[in-house]
A and B are shown apart, each in its own frame.
Chain A
Amino acid sequence: MRQQQENLHTQHIDWPTLLIYTIFVLAGWINIYAAVYEPEHSSIFDITQNYGKQMIWIGVSAFIALMIMLIDDKFFYAFSYMSYGLMIVLNIAVLFLSKEVKGAHAWFEIGSFRLQPAEFAKFATALTLARFMSHYDFSLKDQKHWYKVAAIILLPMGIILAQNDTGSALVYFSFVFVLYREGLPGWILFIGLALGIISVLALVMNPTTLIYILIGVGVVAVFLLRASKQGMILVAAVVLFCVGLVKGIDYLFYKLQPHQQQRVNVLLGKEVDLKGAGYNVHQSKIAIGSGGLLGKGFLEGTQTKFNFVPEQSTDFIFCTVGEEYGFLGSSVLIILFVVLFIRLIAIAERQRNRFNKIYGYCVASILFFHFTINIGMTIGVLPVIGIPLPFFSYGGSSLISFTILLFILLRLDASRVFQLRGSIY
């Protein structure tokens, strides 16, 4: 019986996802090798180098993935709250027990290895959110539930912010997609987006001009909609709110420290500072841009190999792909990621079980968020927020945590047949 069950797991594993995962992990390893390649340590298996270490992490990940596939699927449901609690404790502990690295208190140091608990908090939060939201009487319209959901998301986010690891904290915004799928009204997503755009415009444009434009848009809206009195009041209120927002952002911006102002300006393209705050993005764009259509070839990338690009094996690993494999290579990578997201949504949607489905959306959202922020940063369309590219970037904590995140979903998905045929149990 047990033998049969195991066979069924492997039979029902989602092979396309597993294939993409394997491609990503191996391609990541090769690109890390290319990014930090040094002729003195020319073996990709040299464990004194990042690529050698990544090989170890890949091995560990494979082992963990196998273990997950062997565990009973009910375990994850049962384990969810416990894992959440454990991760909260670890993340608080790291605040006090870690040495400062690049301004952040985010790493446990065990010998020469470093462990980043924030990475592992992602799947724990995803499991907990899935379990809480899959409760039979759960409804987002219920304020109490709403608060609890917010608490589940914001608690780890706040702790990670306290670790001064902004990038990892921002990842928790990705759960908005899950909430949207599970009943959050579309207009909230829309308003959030609109507010974001207005905020950015407030920083880029002359605030007074922007205010006139907003008022103009309001007037046009009133005429176009032939609004009633109430409608006019509503439009006026919205415009007034936006004006207040613009003024507020303008005020806050000048309250910032000069170097923070500079970072914002560089990000928004108002200021070009190639040696200072804009350096990373500029170098990253040079590396990718110089790759051309077909790229410079394996180990031929001069920008990444000669260390012009910072963090080249972690956050800026995409530069190596762009430089050495050109537009062709980077397109393949982007398309594979999009295929993975579509596949993950499809997997989530085919679940018969709410817990599995919500967890599936969590996985898709987290990976999508990482992908968007990371690639967007390297090609200069989004701000520099240091988060890894899933499966590619160097780092044991991130690779292992993404593996756990994905394989729990694959494990749950593999059992949906049994859950469907409940009679087997």
Chain B
Amino acid sequence: MIDSSTKKITLYIIFISVGFIFLLRLFWLQVVDDTYVRFAQNNVLNEEVVYPARGLVYDRDGKLLVYNDAIYDLMVVPERLKKLDTAGFCEVLGITREDFDKRFERIKKSKGYSKYRAVIFEKQLTIPVYAAFQEKLYDFTGFYVQTRTDRKYVYKSAAHVMGYIGEVTDKIIEQSKGYYRMGDYFGVNGIERSYENELRGTRGIKYVLVDVHNRAQGRYKDGLFDTASVAGLNVTTTLDHDLQEYGEKLIANKRGSIVAIEPSTGEILAIVSFPTYDPNLFIGRERGNNYMKLLRDPMKPLFNRPIAAPYPPGSIFKIIMSLVGQQEGVLNPNTTYGCARGASFGSVHVGCHPHPSPLPLRPGIAVSCNAYFCSVYRSVIDNRRYPTTEAAFDQWRKHVLSFGLGQRLGIDLPGEGTGNVPTSNYYSKIYGQGHWKASTTISLGIGQGELGITPLQMANVTAILANRGYYITPHIVKAIAGKKLNNPIFTEKHFTTVDTSYYGVVIDAMQDVVERGTATIARLKNIVVCGKTGTAQNPHGKDHSVFFAFAPRENPKIAIAVVIENAGFGATYAAPIASLMIEQYLTDTITRPWMEERLVNTDLIHQPATNETTTGKPAHTTH
């Protein structure tokens, strides 16, 4: 039986060697190779993001403008639904049985659906529903309430400044190189966007043990490796909330903008755009619908006029012409020009309104003589010092650009426009090189033609006048986390190419404008206001009413520009609005309630202004 015993031994060997192979393999898997330990950690550790609260937003005096509100989303994990009292559930939530079924169908059809993953069943429960739910939640296994925060805007004002937050798009996620994740919110517009990095805070990470279905099973090492979320930094804006709100009150039902700047710092005190909207439309469950409604609104409430809309400046440009003319040596305070209800420049006749003639510079500004400034423009452009018209024009343009026109000023808000200051090339292309001169472009001298200036740029020019020759880039944020913003961009003085000495006569004239010129309506008791009216020609309809001013004359505290679209003369609407704003800001009292009342009650959108003041108005008249 040798065969028999060898067979027995063979079987022993086979059985034992299999056991031995298994032991070797297990020794490798469990003791030698540690990759599986790491795999195991990835398997069971889930990074749970803890969302930080966004930073709060204050006005310059510390008044709270934007805060966070807790919102409660009703979540459901379909797999955990057990014996749901559907009728009772629907009653608490205030939905019908059909609604309930429909929602579940929609959830099941949604992308990436897993019955183990929590999905939002109802976004942002109202507080009473939330309270009712909390009481009965134990009845509704599978449902739970998740707390998040959303923005809440204390006031309806400054919507365009505040901007709004929205859910990140795929593109944003890609651009952020993985910072944002699906379902995150980020600043889409306004300071929510420009200060997103400061406002958003730092996300925390909580390590949670999960099972294969991603169901939480507890903290990992009792939170030893968790990082706390850090709330976003609070942002203090330069806005004076009272002034902002007052501006919005005055401009109501009139298309236009108001921009008020503190000249010495470049801080924006108020920046009003109308039509506007309630920023609270951009929070909560109706966010998307409201956005679409606003986007489709023919009134374009989302359009941020003060920083994006270019207007021909009209007569306020005469101030810049006065300064450029003096700097170029073709104008001095005693230069006089005649005007007989206008004057001819080449083949172009420029009309004007009746006033004494001839006039030197100061009264020329005060009465806003068109002929005078067309003449100034002509002497600048046809200056023999320059070999060609183009060269002289380029010099003129250089001066104009130094006032911050034709370029983005660099305000810390998204969507700023450049406005437009045409180049010599532009005219050379139209008329041919050497084939154009001052008379060809004469309307530029009185702020018409191809010029485009945003209300922000107008206010900035006013600030330059108030500072007698320089500006600081206008900005909307003053401090972050209580610390004064230390950004050289917002402290550097940008000097114009016009010497400070030339400003005196212009400022005298601007005082005259208010005290006995075209804008006496803007005069204030005890405060010297320096301003200039403008009527910007509008090829599409009634002219725009423009006014800019600063006050007080010495040591100015506020520089303001007002543009009211399709409102006619600058003195009609823009000047009184500016005047009331100045009074409000400097004295905190309104001495002319009748004026305020008239403005508040004027509705130029639904009942356009009558044309009585413009009948028989000659072409190219600006005041």
Contact = CB atoms under 8 A, between A and B. Distances in A.
Given A186-B10, A289-B30, A306 B25 contact: no
A5 to B, nearest CB: 31
A135 to B, nearest CB: 18
Contact of B23 (A290, A303, A334, A342): A334
A368 B18 CA distance: 9
A133 to B, nearest CB: 15
A322 to B, nearest CB: 7
Interface in B141-185: none
Nearest to B4: A181
Contact of A286 (B39, B209, B215): B39
Interface in A332-375: 334-335, 337-338, 341-342, 345, 349, 364, 368, 371-372, 375
B210 A306 contact: yes
B11 A345 contact: yes
Contacts of A414: none
Interface centre among B12, B15, B25, B30 (most CB of A within 10 A): B30
Interface string A289-312: 111110000000011011110000
Contact of B22 (A302, A303, A307, A334): A334
Contacts of A286: 36, 39-40, 43
A332 to B, nearest CB: 11
Contacts of A322: 26, 29-30
A288 interface: yes
Given A289-B40, A302-B44, A335 B30 contact: no
A180 B8 CA distance: 10
Contacts of A341: 15-16, 19
B2 to A, nearest CB: 12
Given A288-B30, A291-B30, A293-B31, A180 B40 contact: no
B66 to A, nearest CB: 42
Contacts of B211: 305-308
A60 B348 CA distance: 115
B7 interface: yes
B459 to A, nearest CB: 60
Interface residues of B, number: 34
A177 B14 CA distance: 10
Interface string A153-192: 0000000000000000000000001001100001000000
Nearest to B10: A186
Contact of A345 (B12, B19, B29, B37): B12
Interface of B is mostly: helix
B37 to A, nearest CB: 5
Contacts of A389: none
Interface in A350-408: 364, 368, 371-372, 375-376, 379, 381
Contacts of A125: none
A132 interface: no
Interface in B33-50: 33, 35-37, 39-40, 43-44
Interface of A: 177, 180-181, 186, 282-283, 285-293, 302-303, 305-308, 322, 326-327, 330-331, 334-335, 337-338, 341-342, 345, 349, 364, 368, 371-372, 375-376, 379, 381
Given A337-B19, A345-B15, 9 more contacts: A177-B14, A186-B10, A287-B40, A288-B26, A288-B30, A289-B40, A334-B22, A338-B15, A364-B11
29 contacts: A186-B7, A285-B29, A286-B43, A289-B29, A290-B39, A293-B30, A302-B43, A303-B40, A303-B43, A306-B44, A306-B210, A306-B212, A306-B215, A307-B211, A307-B213, A308-B211, A322-B26, A322-B30, A327-B30, A327-B31, A331-B23, A334-B19, A345-B12, A368-B18, A372-B18, A375-B22, A379-B22, A379-B26, A381-B21
Interface of B: 7-8, 10-12, 14-16, 18-19, 21-23, 25-27, 29-31, 33, 35-37, 39-40, 43-44, 209-213, 215, 217
